[in-house]
Chain A
């Protein structure tokens, strides 16, 4: 446990508030839900039947780069902002609230990992992210294991360089990324290296996914050469373990934001739609589940800021706090999503109603880096003691 007294306000000060309010204003203006719908959900057949590349607004990303967002998690000595995690969580909440299609989350997650790696090797890549070079983590095997030790990529020595073979799965927003942070097994070691998207022998195969607000891919490595300079850690599992709380906080923040949008949108519908001579919200069968969604979201949000604050404090309680936040946010996301479709009634079941965009983004995030059950299994080991196997 950290010995310092945790700040009562989670360390959420004026700078963090200003960034969050600016992000909300910017995204309200640039990505209202009508624009999002036109952008990503124009043609259901193109996306699902023909497997078209998911749409995103590259111009918007360039504006986000100018605002400095990709550099928020990059330390100052590497050319970034070194912003507090509580501030980043608030920004990501806004991204979730607008279901923003962009490489922002992937790049933040890549920064969280790279800043735990060997500084000399990792800093150039961090600097590249700060300048808007979208980067994503390629650390997951075909089974979708969230154990940092597991990798579907193997490495062999080739003179000074390494050669990578195998595949990394479930790589987020890979089609938008210019570089990947890859974990690769070499004998008993797990190495962490950075591979540019255009590297020879690397094939990025788009996954056919439900979520319309991001892309995902499988990376196939066919003897891809990695110069020694690009190896950023010889103990990738340790690096990933240290960064893991921040990855969980990032996804939990997106879930909190999207859940709040679902709640407010469904509340709005329940205030306006009249049946049996009353607005829907008059009926307790509608009112009470909406209140329960609010209760779930508030629990998750409070745990989210607690976890982000623990990361900023540098205590060893960050992992438990982040797992609690991700568990609560996944469950709040699942419940709020479920009610947002059900309480919209017939229209909620259609393509024209926007709730499906958030439903699918939430569903994707609920699984990413481990769902509630996974987090609680890990927490049980910490709180109750490990099971004898």
Chain B
């Protein structure tokens, strides 16, 4: 009676992706993988993950909906299916997360034909890894306060400045960079560049150590770095607008070029599992009423995220089209933080153990995941800034600043 809403091509692709992933699932990694792509630290991890993304690309699971001229598959409605299947198969994540979710969509919107042909294919295949140069020591939540400068010199720009929180910077070939090209206007004085990183003269990439003691992100120093004018994205002075495109994709309010993978077990199922293996006041944590209530709150939240995404595509049930999309960053990151926090609580005394301690539950996942979750609630515009945006753009309240 009920018909599937997928076309026959989409159904066929779904079957194909499922089969391919089952057959091509890679052997276990030679080293323990981090919890997400922006924490990739070692070259072994990188090589393993880069190889996996390349295979997925060759199989048509990355860039499936992008035009063939730019290395894509030229299909419609395939990418979401590919992402779902990668998630369900629990295969490793795709390493080039900034390339796929930020650089590629931004280049497709704002780039020249030449830029699209040059940069999109190797980003999809994972051959060229991208990083993001938006944040600076003095430009965090106030992102337009950019102090990195780009000064015109013939057919080039000379870049000087200091970027921070640069995930994947130590493996990146390219950076999406915003720099100040005029001091006269705060917003209109910004320009967006595709900037060479690996091997570029004047670029220094230094690892930053996170509160967990892990590295994985960096600071990047620019000293008279020459960037050809052909690497400028869109017009001079339009950097803020272009950056907003990037942020729309980064904050999950728009569909990206590819993703998924890495999360075979649902985070709430992980909690339930942990609660069955943990003891609290002499009983299984799974039998403690308060713990049960807290776990179910997480389950409800997780379901709400799925159903919010579903409702956001039903115009008749959304009085304002951006009301739900603009919530996604806050909701997903705070769900994740709260989920990890609850895992720490359920693990109890055992949550004190670092990942190298053999008795640490789930190989030390919970406390590390909890601490790392602050990266998510702070990055891409802190959740406080997100709440300002929601209050002002959706509810129409007065601008706080």
Number of A-B contacts (CB under 8 A): 147
Q: Which residues of A (327-379) have their CB < 8 Å from a CB of B?
A: 327-328, 373, 376-377, 379
A12 and B314 form a contact (CB under 8 A): yes
**When the two chains form their complex, are residues A303 and B303 in contact, meaning their CB atoms are under 8 A apart?**
yes
Residue of B4, B5, B314, B396 most packed against chain A (CB within 10 A):
B314
Interface of A is mostly: helix
Q: A10 contacts the other chain (Cβ, under 8 Å)?
A: yes
B391 within 8 A of A: yes
* Most chain A C-beta atoms within 10 Å of own C-beta, residue among B310, B324, B395: B395
Docked-complex contact A380 and B295, CB < 8 angstroms? yes
Tell me if B398 and A279 are in contact (CB < 8 A): yes
Give the docked Cα–Cα distance between A86 and B390 (Å).
27
A14-26 Cβ-contact flags toward B at 8 Å (1 or 0) = 0011001000000
Q: A284-B400, A291-B387 are in contact. List 15 more A-B contacts (CB 8 A).
A: A12-B317, A282-B400, A284-B388, A286-B397, A287-B395, A290-B397, A291-B395, A292-B387, A294-B394, A305-B307, A313-B2, A376-B292, A377-B289, A377-B293, A383-B299
A287 near B388 with CB under 8 A, answer: yes
B14 to chain A, nearest CB (A): 12
Number of interface residues of B (CB under 8 A): 46
A380 to B304, CA, bound (A): 17
Inter-subunit contact B308/A281 (CB<8 Å): no
- CB-CB nearest in chain A for B389: A291
Is B113's beta carbon under 8 Å from chain A? no
Chain A residue at minimum C-beta to C-beta distance from B295: A384
Establish whether residues A302 and B304, one from each chain, have CB atoms under 8 Å apart when the complex forms: yes
Chain B 283-302 interface mask (CB, 8 Å, partner A; 1/0): 00011010011011101110
Q: How far is the CA of A278 from the CA of B400 in the complex (A)?
A: 10
Q: What residue in chain B is nearest A284 (Cβ atoms)?
A: B400
Known contacts A303-B300, A379-B296; is-contact A271 B397 (Cβ 8 Å): yes
CB atoms of A302 and B293 under 8 A apart:
no
From A12, A288, A383, A385, give the contact of B391 (CB < 8 A).
Answer: A288
> Does B356 make an interface contact (CB < 8 A)?
no
Asked if B398 and A271 sit within 8 Å, CB to CB, the answer is yes
B391 touches A287 (CB 8 A): yes
B272 in complex: contacting residue of A278, A286, A313, A384, CB < 8 Å: A384
Q: Which residues of B contact A8 (CB under 8 A)?
A: 5, 310, 313-314
The answer to whether the Cβ of A236 comes within 8 Å of any Cβ in the partner chain is no
CB of A270 within 8 Å of the partner chain: yes
Q: How far is the CA of A299 from the CA of B306 in the complex (A)?
A: 10
With most chain A CB atoms within 10 A of its CB, the pick from B287, B289, B301, B304 is B304
**B307 and A303 form a contact (CB under 8 A):** yes
**Contacts of A380 on B, CB cut-off 8 Å?**
289, 292-293, 295-296
Tell whether A198 is near chain B: CB-to-CB under 8 Å: no
* Cβ contact within 8 Å between A295 and B327: yes
A7 and B398 CA atoms in complex are apart in Å by 39
Quick check: is A29 within 8 A (CB to CB) of the other chain?
A: no
Chain B residue contacts of A300, Cβ below 8 A: 304
Would you call B287 and A10 a contact (CB within 8 A)?
A: no
Other-chain contact of B384, A284, A295, A305, A327 (Cβ < 8 Å): A284
Instruction: Give the residues in chain A near B295, CB-CB below 8 Å.
Output: 380, 383-384
Residues of A within 8 A of B293 (CB): 373, 376-377, 380
Chain B residues in 8 Å Cβ range of A299: 300-301, 304, 308, 331
Do B397 and A9 touch (CB < 8 A)?
A: no
B142 vs chain A, min Cβ distance (A): 15
Interface pairs A-B: 4 shortest CB-CB: A281-B397, A4-B2, A302-B307, A299-B304
Q: Mark A258-289, 1 if CB is under 8 A from B, else 0.
A: 00000000010011000000110111101110
Bound Cα distance A313, B130 (Å):
45
Whether the pair B296, A383 counts as a contact (CB closer than 8 A) is yes
Measured CA separation A281–B286 after assembly (Å) = 43
Interface presence of B75 (CB below 8 A): no
Show 25 A/B contacts (Cβ-Cβ < 8 Å), sorted by A: A10-B310, A10-B311, A10-B314, A16-B316, A271-B396, A271-B398, A281-B395, A281-B397, A286-B397, A287-B391, A288-B384, A288-B387, A294-B323, A294-B390, A295-B331, A298-B323, A302-B324, A305-B311, A305-B314, A313-B2, A321-B303, A328-B300, A380-B289, A380-B295, A383-B296
Q: Closest approach, in angstroms, between the C-beta of B314 and any C-beta of chain A?
A: 5
Kindly state the separation between the CA atoms of A60 and B324 in the bound complex, as whole angstroms.
35
Q: Is A84 an interface residue (CB 8 A)?
A: no
Q: A306-B303, A376-B296 are in contact. Are A291 and B314 (CB under 8 A)?
A: no
Chain B's closest residue to A21 (CB) is B316
Pair A306/B307 contact, Cβ less than 8 Å: yes
Docked-complex contact A302 and B311, CB < 8 angstroms: yes
B330 interfacial by beta-carbon distance below 8 Å: yes
**B399 is contacted by which of A16, A270, A282, A286 (Cβ under 8 Å)?**
A282
- Measured in the bound complex, the distance between the Cα atoms of B317 and A9 in whole Å is 9
